[in-house]
Every structure is written in C-alpha cells, then in structure tokens.
Structure 1
Amino acid sequence: MKTTIMTNLNNLLVVIILLTTMSCGTKTKPVQQQSIKVNAPFEMPEIIYPDFSECAKFPITDFGAVQGDQQLISAAITAAIDAANQAGGGSVIIPEGEWLTGKVHLKSNVNLHLEKGAVLLFNDNPDDYLPAVHTTWEGMECYNYSPLVYAYECKNVAITGEGELKAKMDLWRTWFSRPRPHMNSLKRLYEMASAGVPVEERIMVNDTANLRPHFIQLNRCENVLLDGIKVTNSPFWTIHPYLCKNVVLRNLKVFAHGHNNDGVDPEMTQNMLVEDCEFDQGDDAIAVKSGRNQDAWRLNTPTRNLVIRNCTVKNGHQLLAVGSEMSGGVENVFMDSCTVADGANMFHLVFLKTNERRGGFINNIHVSNIKADKMSEGILGIETDVLYQWRNLVPTYERRLTTISNIYLENFEANDVKFISRILGNEELPVKNVNLKNISVKSVEGEEFIHENVLNFNFEK
C-alpha cells in the first residue's frame, strides 16, 4: 500500500512539474541529434549522438530530493527521469553535493547531468538493485541484479557533466573472492546458456550466486553519449555498451581497481567512438567483447566499427584487449594516439584471446602511434587457448575455433618488454596476416618473437 501511494504521488508530481515548466516558458524542445565523422582505415559510418542543449532541465531538488535521505533522492531521480522522458527530452540535474541512491534506470531522451562538485553515490546494498533485470555476466545473458546505472532499449540517452558517479564497495568487495558456491552458480549459468534455456529462466539472484552488477550498462540502446564525468569504483565491468548502436564516450575519467574492473567493454556494439579519456583500472583498460559461445551465436551481432583515440591509461592489464568473450565476432577496430603512463602495471599493449569454445572471428584490428613504459609481457599477444578458471569448471559442449586475421600495429614506442610479439595460434586454424611496423623498444628480456601456427607474419622496423 505504501509503495502504491508513493508511486501515485510521484506520478502526480511529474504532471505538476511538467505543467509548471510549460507555463513558465522554459525550453521544452525535444532532444536533437548530432553526428560525427571519424577517420579510420576502414569504412566508418557517421556516429549519431544526442544533443540536449535545447531541452528543459529537471533538477532532482524540484522533485523532493534531500541530501542524506536515500529514499527521497532515489524517488526524485526516478520522477525527474519520467518527467524528462514525457517531455520528449530533458536533462535530469544532479546538483553540487553528495547524493546517495540505489539503482538509476534511464529512459529514452534523457540526459543524466552531474554538475561540478556533484557526487552521485551508489549504495552497496544488493536489495537496492532488485528486482532482477535482463543483463549479462561475462558474455552470457541472464536476469541478475540491476546495473547501478541501467538503460534498456533506449534511444537518445546521455550521462554528462563535471560531476562523479561513485560506488560504495564495502559489500561488493566481499564478493570478489569467487568462493565455491559462486563458481557453482556460474557453472549453472554456463550450462543453461549451452542448452538454450530461455533467458527469462536464468535467474541468478540468490544467496550464493553473488554475481556483481555492472556499474553502467547500456543494453540494446541507440544514440548514446557519455561526456565529461568521472566514474569511481565498480562492482564489476565499469562501462558496458551491450548490443548498442552509435555510442560516443569522451572526456571521461575512470578509476576502478577491483576484480574484473575493466574500463570500457563494448560488446556486440557497432559504430562507437572513445576519445580523450583517462583509465586507471584493475583489469583491462579497453576490453572489446562480443558474447560467449551459444548466446553470441544466437544473437549473431559482431562488434564492428570501433575507434579509440587520444586516451591515457594510468594502470590496467592491457591497453587494448579483444576477448575472450568474442563469439559474435570482432572486426574493424582502430586505436590511435594513446599513451600508457610511466610506471603503469601493464601486461600487453594489445592482447587478443580466445579458446576452442568461442568460434567467431577477430579481423581488421589496427593500432598505431602508441607510447608506453615497460610491459611485464610484450607489445602484442595472441593466444588461442585462454580458458582461465573455466578450463576445469565446465566441459566444452561445442567446439568452434576462432579465425584471427589482418592485425596491424604501427609506430609503437616502449621501454622494457619480455617480447615484441607472442602468437600462439591453433594448429588447425593458424593466425593469418599479422603486420608490425616501426616498433621501437629499449630492451627485450627474451626472444623477440615467440610464434606458433602463424601464416604471413611481417615485421618492418
């Protein structure tokens, strides 16, 4: 009864705010669209993204938000999002100060705008992220805790401003260890996905699964902009565009040093630009994905047309990783003019990884003009037998090999490395057409090139 009353009051408040906005002559123009043409060594379509500059503003304080009261803040954010959506476009304003909340679900034609000095702090109580939503875990679809910020089947959505999205981590951190009950739940999910169990029946919210939610997941969205914000801490993958089209990420500062804390994970997403961002990660900085095994084969949507440029990485396992969840295929990736900070704890600059269960393909990867310090591994790594903890957890139900071809690296500068390239291809399906040009390193600890099952490798100093 209390929930019903609060819902009705919120709906009434949305109507009052909309009427007040229109009667006062405030801008109520619908969201506009901009486009950007990106140069790449492959045909790259213009990327469309939303422009909210002429839209009305909806401060959460106008909807009853009071600092220190999570219930009022969460209700106000929801009501403001509803109002902006119903107005045909609007910016939900998070003012200066700290605002504690649970999940935030965006809607079409809504910009979540954080003003300078604003901190939207997300609680770490799992109950705040229920009911379960249609999401993913490491490339497998399921119903799990809601991502902290979630958009599903939305068009024209944005998160902008000079403020910060921050996750409280006290509880999530206790889930990092992956104890046996958690691994058993992962095994159950893997088996359901392999058997084609409908996603609606893959309910992973229980006392033992402990599948941590993403921080920001944009699921099946179109025309997405993230610009200017800082993102701090994350239970799982930090920014996850999943099955999206037209995505622009720019001027972001991302810091997350927990387990599986990749910076950005584009997955089965097409036409995407990442530029002028700073990453400080506990895992890969940019990790390109395209789903795992049967789920990805069912969805049949490659990650395609991805450009990353002018980014800085302060820490992270790899500058650019592809896989190992890449069963839908990855093609047309261009990274240019990125820098790894001195002292960064990096493994590889470019690492492509798959295994006998993935299938799919990796094709047409271009990386150029990279400056870095030392690598604990090397410049380029390609491995076709990467299974991690899954090797002994579950069997290979269906064997499909991955085609890897047309890899281009040019103009790299690095200090100490273990090797320049290590390519461990599959004997039945060798890696093809790998081209390295103008690769400058100060010292190589061991062999420069460690290669198995590679056809047409070219190295030009």
Structure 2
Amino acid sequence: MKTRNTYRMILLLVLFFLTGGRLAAQKNQVILQQVSVEAPFKMPKIKTPNFARVADFVITDYGAEPEDKEKNAIAIEKAIAKAAIAGGNVIIPAGEWKTKKIHLKSNVNLHLSEGAVLLFSPDPQDYLPAVFTTWEGLECYNYSPLIYAFEAKNVAITGKGEVRADISQWRKWFPRPSAHMESIKRLYNWAQDRVPVEDRNMVNDTSNMRPQFIQFNRCENVLVEDIQIRNSPFWTLHLYLSKDIIVRGIDMYAHGHNNDGIDPEMSQNVLIENCVFDQGDDAIAIKSGRNPEGWRLKTPSKNIVVRNCLVKDGHQLLAIGSELSGGIENIYVENCKVADDNEKLMHLLFIKTNERMGGHVKHVYFKNIDANAIREGILGIDTDVLYQWRTLVPTVVRKLTPVQDIYLENVQAKDAKFVAKINGNADLPVRNIHLKNVTLVNASEEEIQTKNVEGFVMK
C-alpha cells in the first residue's frame, strides 16, 4: 500500500510540473471572484468571472478576414462555440472587423485587443432570426441585439478595443410614424392580455423596432470592462433580468434616438464604476418593466451602485423609470461629475412614473455629485409622465407608484431652474425626501417646488 501511494504522489507531481503548476483538470477554468461594494444598504458581494486561466481563441484561426462580414461572423461564432466548451477568451485582434450579430455563451469572454474595432452591419437582415428580447419594457421577439447573451453564466466583454454600430439604416427608423405606433400599441395589448411572448413577433415591414446594441438577458456573473462603444441603434447596454454584474471603465458615445447609456432593468447586484457617458438620452436609466410585464415578472431592480463616473452629455445623470412596474430599490450614486459643457442635461436625478405603472421606488441615495449648468433642476420627481402612451392606449388598470425615501447629500450645481421639483399624486403623495448640503448657485425659478409631498426636509 505504501508503494502504491508513493507512485501516486510521483504521478501527481509530474502532472503538476507538466501543467505549469496546475493539475490538468484545472487548466481551462473560469474563476469566480467576489467583489465587496460599500453602500448605505446591505449590498451583497458581486460574483464576477475571471478569465485569466482559460485558453485564447483568436478569430483569425477560424477564417476571419477584416472586410468580410460573412466570414467574420462565422469565425466569431465558431470561436465562441469552442471557447464555451471549457471556458475561453475569444480574441479580436487589432484592426477593423466587419461583422453581423454576435451571440455570446456561458464561460466566454469576448476580448477586444487594443486597436481592434468590431464594426456591426447596418442591414436589419443580419440580425435575424428574431430573438427573445424587449422593447421599452415589453417582452417580444424582435431583431437580435448586435451583441446578445441569453441565459448565460460567467460571460464578459473586455479589452481596450471598440465596438461600433453603423447606424445608417437604423437612423431611418428613428421617427415614429403611425405604423410603428400601431405596432407598439399591439404589443402593449398583447402584454396586457398575457399573450405568450413567443407569439409576439415584431419583425415585419412596419414595426421598425430597433435592437439594443448590447443586451445581457437573464444572465449571471457578467463583466463589461474597458471597452469603447460607439453609436447604437437603440439602448446601448441593456442589463435585463440579470444579476451579479460589473460594468467598469467603459467609454461610450451614442447620439442617436433613445440612446441611453446603461439600462439595468429588473437586474440586481450591479456595480457601474469609472465610466464615461456621452449620450443622446439618459446616461443611466434604471427600469423594471412596463405595466403588465413588470407585474407578471415581479423582479425589482435593486442593489445598484454607480460611482466615479463622468457624464459628458445626456438628458439625466440618473433616470428612474418610467418603466418601473416591477419596482426599484436600493440605488446608490456617488462621486460622479457632469462635464461643464453638457448641452442636454435636464436633471441630475429624475424619477418618473404614472398612474398605470404600479411598482415602487424607495431607498435612493445620491451623494457627492458636481455639475455646472442644468436645463431643469437637480432633482425632479414626476408621477404623471406618459409620453406617447397618454393618447395611444387608455388606462386599463390604475396602479399608483409609491415613491419614498430619497436622499441627496453634497450635491452642487451652478445654474438651473430649481433645486427640486416634485409632482406627487394626490391619492399617493411622495414621501420622505431628504436634501442635505444640496446647493444651486443661480436658480431662475423658485428653488423648491412641491405638490403632494409628505416629509420634505432640506438642511
């Protein structure tokens, strides 16, 4: 028995040295790390994937050629399939690579080398067949997001390279003609009537529903780090029904229609840090489903921390809503700055809902924020924001949104109309709003404007 054990130890030592200090079974392995995040609420540790010990799969080894979107799309798909077997980095080398849609899988890191550009086709046909996705808080089948992950675990997009959307065709879809409006009306009614999502196909000649650039749909352990994002058909980075997410050090520019920067929707345990936003819409917009969808899925967006970010341009630093029927809670934004020459900024924090949304908003913390000129004000809360839906469909079910426990501290701006403007609902007033050391140098209107608010404190 002693001799057998000795041989076994020798064999293990040989394997150890042959594998560079790791046993063979450990060679291709995505490691999960836990990241602690400070917040004024109980914030779970975020599980994030580390791809340092997995193999690399370079797309040129699978037939990629810079100017050939067909070959590149096939090469990327093959590399992803290989990497998913045991975990791997799909490497995009330096240079410009035209491509079609990319569908990520579990245990795969799409890594863009410095100097690499993935240039996505403007042809809508390159994003078919339709996939399980969303449109403004309603689930449906639609054109695939340009980069899409569905029910994936341990998935990432990293590197110093760039993803860029050619929006020459999508730009033609920016307007909302009557045919498009009828399509979103039909989708809303399908959701209201609980029509199965697989029967809500929105790909036809008239819907013109643009896809998100990047969507993580029902994913876990997600990392997006360091990349540059340029242009987008619709929302730029959509985190949908996903959890344990870190978005770090990315730089995005997207000035098309509805070009929010990051949209966490019904997602939980999220850290967004050290990012730069240059948007045609909100920098960060937290959502949780529209009306029947949020009520059906019953998943609040919660435990979301945003810190050390710069907003060069965009409508709001942080918007909450208006799709928030699943509820939004435990939000912390700290140490963020808005560039002095921001041309579009409306509010630093804007909470918007209406009598059809239901859901809830609570425990929102805003601390150490600096801005210069703001078109509206520092804090806006409006419980009657309906946009096109006001005349498109009637109120089918009336559900008010309780909004409470909002805290702003050490927030400064130079020029704006007001410090805070709150339009609560008479049947359900906004409650418990605390402002501490919130200063506006030049106000062109009354600094504090409140309607149907209980418990407003300013120190």
Q: TM (normalized to structure 2)?
A: 0.94
The superposition leaves residues 296-344 of structure 1 with CA deviations (integer Å, 9 ceiling, x where unpaired) of 1010000010000000000000001000000000000000000000010
Aligned residue for 2:450, secondary structure, equals strand
2:193 alignment partner in structure 1: 195
SS in 1 for 2:407: strand
Q: Deviation per CA, 1:342-382, whole angstroms, max 9, x where unpaired?
A: 01020000000000110000000000000001100000000
Per-residue CA shift, 1:61-104, capped at 9, x if unaligned?
00010111111100000000000001x21000000000000100
Distance in 2 (CA, whole Å) between partners of 1:226 and 1:254 is 12
Q: 1:100 aligns with which of 90, 98, 122?
A: 98
In structure 2, give the amino acid aligned to 1:409: L
Write the distance in 1 (CA, Å) between the matches of 2:28 and 2:427. 58
Report the 3-state secondary structure (helix = DSSP H, G, I; strand = E; otherwise coil) of the residue aligned with 2:263: coil
Q: Secondary structure at the match of 1:174?
A: helix
In the alignment, what sits opposite 1:361?
360
> How much does 1:439 deviate?
1.0
Instruction: Say if 1:231 and 1:255, in contact at 8 Å, map to a contact too.
Output: yes
Q: 1:402 corresponds to which residue?
A: 401
| CA distance, structure 1, for counterparts of residue 341 and residue 69 of structure 2 | 40
Equivalent residue number for residue 279 of structure 2: 281
Asked if residue 318 in structure 1 is aligned to residue 348 in structure 2, the reply is no
In 2, Cα distance between the equivalents of 1:70 and 1:102?
Answer: 6
- Counterpart Cα distance in 2 of 1:37 and 1:440: 31
- The aligned counterpart of 2:420 is 421
Match of 1:124 in 2: 122
What is the Cα deviation at residue 28 of structure 1? 4.1
For residues 149 and 34 of structure 1, the distance between their equivalents in structure 2, rounded to whole angstroms, comes to 24
Alignment of 1:334-413 (within 5 A): 334-345=332-343, 346-413=345-412
CA distance in 1, matches of 2:151, 2:68: 30
Alpha-carbon distance, 1:35 to partner: 1.3
In the other structure, the counterpart of 1:140 is 138
Query: Within 5 Å, which residues of 2 pair with 1:11-22?
Result: none
Q: Pick the aligned partner of 1:179 from 159, 162, 177.
A: 177
Supply the distance in 2 between the matched residues of 1:340 and 1:85 (Cα, whole angstroms): 40
Residue identity in the other structure for 1:125: D
CA shift at 1:29, angstroms? 1.8
| 2:163 matched residue in structure 1 | 165
Per-residue CA deviations over 1:255-287 (Å, capped at 9, x if unaligned) read: 100110000000000000000000000000000
- Tell me the equivalent position of 1:330: 328
User: C-alpha distance in 1, partners of 2:129/2:296?
Assistant: 26
Q: Distance in 2 between matches of 1:66 and 1:232?
A: 22
* Aligned length in residues: 435
1:70 aligns with 69
Q: What is the match of residue 36 of structure 1?
A: 35
8 A Cα contact 2:419 2:439, kept in partner = no
Superposed CA RMSD in Å reads: 1.0
Give the deviation of 1:414 after TM superposition.
Answer: 0.7
Helix, strand or coil at the partner of 1:170: coil
Secondary structure of the residue aligned to 2:221 is strand
Q: Which amino acid aligns with 1:380?
A: L
**Contact conserved, 1:147 with 1:217, CA < 8 A, in 2?**
yes
Tell me, in whole angstroms, the C-alpha distance in 2 between the residues paired with 1:347 and 1:271: 27
Structure 1 counterpart of 2:347, one-letter code? H
The whole-number CA distance in structure 1 between the counterparts of 2:168 and 2:69 is: 17
Cα offset, 1:30, TM superposition: 1.2
Report the Cα distance in structure 1 between the residues aligned to 2:173 and 2:65, rounded to whole angstroms.
Answer: 31
Q: Which residue type is aligned with residue 251 of structure 2?
A: K
The one-letter code sitting in structure 1 at the alignment partner of 2:64 is A
Give the secondary-structure state (helix, strand or coil) at the position aligned to 1:81: helix
Tell me the residue number matched to 2:207: 209
Answer whether contact 1:66 1:72 (CA < 8 A) is retained: yes
Partner Cα distance (1:412, 1:304) in 2: 23
2:56 is aligned to: 57
Letter in 2 for 1:405: Q
1:444-459 equivalences under 5 Å are: 444-459=443-458
For the Cα contact (< 8 Å) 1:140–1:292, is it kept in 2? yes
Tell me which amino acid in the other structure corresponds to 1:208: T
Aligned to 1:15: none
2:218 is matched with 220
Do the aligned partners of 1:303 and 1:328 also contact (CA within 8 Å) in 2? yes
Give how far 1:442 is off. 1.3
Q: CA separation in 2, counterparts of 1:196 and 1:399? A: 17
Aligned-partner Cα distance in 2 for 1:397–1:78: 44
TM-score relative to the length of structure 1: 0.94
- Distance in 1 (CA, whole Å) between partners of 2:331 and 2:407 is 10
Given that 1:28 and 1:89 are in contact with CA atoms closer than 8 Å, whether structure 2 keeps it comes out as no
2:35 and 2:177 map into 1 onto residues whose CA distance is: 46
Q: Deviation above 3 Å: which 4+ runs of structure 1? A: none
Counterpart residue type for residue 395 of structure 2: T
Which residue in the other structure is 1:18 paired with?
none
Equivalent position amino acid for 1:396 in 2: T
Q: Report the Cα offset of residue 393 of structure 1.
A: 0.7
Q: Secondary structure at the match of 2:264?
A: coil
Q: Is the 8 A contact 1:173 1:235 kept in 2?
A: yes
Q: Is the 8 A contact 1:347 1:376 kept in 2?
A: yes
CA contact (8 A) 2:163 2:229 kept: yes
